[in-house]
Amino acid sequence: MAANDAVATENRRFLDGQAVVALNVMGSPGAGKTSLIENTIRWLNNRRCVAVIEGDIATNYDAERIARTGVPVIQIATGGECHLDAAMIKQALADLDLPRGGILLIENVGNLVCPAEYDLGEHFRVVVASVPEGDDKIEKYPAIYRRADAVVVNKADLAEMSDFRFDRFRMQIQNINSYASLFELSCKTGEGLSAWADWIAQLRCRN
Amino acid sequence: MAANDAVATENRRFLDGQAVVALNVMGSPGAGKTSLIENTIRWLNNRRCVAVIEGDIATNYDAERIARTGVPVIQIATGGECHLDAAMIKQALADLDLPRGGILLIENVGNLVCPAEYDLGEHFRVVVASVPEGDDKIEKYPAIYRRADAVVVNKADLAEMSDFRFDRFRMQIQNINSYASLFELSCKTGEGLSAWADWIAQLRCRN
């Protein structure tokens, strides 16, 4: 873990040198991480240039989806590992056409547990929840939510059919991590995406 | 891992001695594993007695839900571990009031990666998918699906709103694991639960 942190620090310095702000996007399988990235690119509407690193156990499906938006993208297939690590990101950064002053969106493996422990060299951590997962996941998977800079609740259009109580979810976030910015949105309807894109657009390296 | 397998074998022998059939129920956070267990108990309608072991990183919420059905239940809080292991199950079995000739449902931590690697001493492995997760998860998380005895697709009532292609899902299962029994159901509407409960009701120890 110390070795990972050392490489993560290298990655962050490298990104700082390019004035690139990196986000580690985490969430359950199927929460809509790839859809959120596709929509972030669209809603940013050239206010900031974007590059993407896609992480999955297997397949290049997500990189193929992102490539259609026209931004630089690299797929990492972990081959069984339940999370990305800093060394995988270091290798991807060497190959990726990074936009100076832009945004790097890193989609982690779909998993609410393991990714929480690995610093990739990102500047901000985003957890993507989704309404059909239910409103009790923050207390069940506290570690990943505790260190999030932003929490996105996707699939808000399914709230009524899923008995999702936004009040309960908001109170849990407040209890565990009152620092996190909360975005309730739907990648399907577009609801809430403007506020999310505005948040991304203003991000600067913290160092 | 060898140590885990040895304890798993002990667990399986212990369960065989009680003629209890154990199922390891895995799936993403929020796929509906607990709802499926609640509904399995209801739809079995006393054809087989049931006991439950609930696994989570944190909270007793799921054991509290199951306790309301009246069956014996024990909660394991892994405290950060991304999966149950055989030693945790061994300890729970010592404390659980097992129904002779009955069914033991073990709900694993919500995760499509780590639980796939750990034998708990179960007789059958069930993966619970859900429609809003999307129809591409079998190829993205192949290990857990490859060794499943049954695959349940929950939240079938959300199929239309989620653009879920059952054809694609069925073809992926067929390609990766043609042995698995497939159940498409909705814990919310009750659709498909009868066939699932019938499958559970007829299970016998394989040894």
pLDDT 10s digits, A14-31: 999 999 999 999 999 999
Walk across the sheet containing A103-107 and list its strands: A73-77, A50-56, A103-107, A21-27, A124-130, A150-154, A181-184
pLDDT 10s digits, B76-120: 999 999 999 999 999 999 999 999 999 999 999 999 999 999 999
- Partnered with residue B60 across adjacent β-strands are none
Alpha-carbon distance of B58 to A145, in angstroms, equals 13
Alpha-carbon distance of B49 to A9, in angstroms, equals 54
Alpha-carbon distance of A39 to A190, in angstroms, equals 8
In this predicted structure, the answer to whether residue B53 has a pLDDT above a threshold of 70 is: yes
Name the 3-class secondary structure at B59.
Answer: coil
In this predicted structure, the answer to whether residue A195 has a pLDDT above a threshold of 80 is: yes
Alpha-carbon distance of B115 to B94, in angstroms, equals 22
In this predicted structure, the answer to whether residue A170 has a pLDDT above a threshold of 70 is: yes
Asked if B139's CB is within 8 angstroms of A59's CB, the reply is yes
**What CA–CA distances, in Å, run from A96 to A83, A102, B129?**
20, 13, 34
Name the 3-class secondary structure at A34.
Answer: helix
Is the model's pTM score more than 0.90?
yes
Alpha-carbon distance of B145 to B132, in angstroms, equals 18
Q: Does B190 touch chain A (CB under 8 A)?
A: no
Pairing, β B73-77 against β B181-184: unpaired
In this predicted structure, the answer to whether residue B125 has a pLDDT above a threshold of 80 is: yes
Q: Does A109 touch chain B (CB under 8 A)?
A: yes
pLDDT 10s digits, A36-64: 999 999 999 999 999 999 999 999 999 99
Asked if A141's CB is within 8 angstroms of B110's CB, the reply is yes
In this predicted structure, the answer to whether residue B207 has a pLDDT above a threshold of 80 is: no
Asked if B59's CB is within 8 angstroms of A139's CB, the reply is yes
Domains of chain B, start order:
2-201 (3.40.50.300)
Mean pLDDT along residues B121-144 = 97
Tell me the two tokens of residue A156.
């808000």
Neighbours of B15 (CB within 10 A): 21
Q: Contacts of residue B155 in chain A, CB cutoff 8 Å?
A: 132
pLDDT 10s digits, A32-42: 999 999 999 99
Residue-level pLDDT at A207: 53
Name the 3-class secondary structure at A57.
Answer: coil
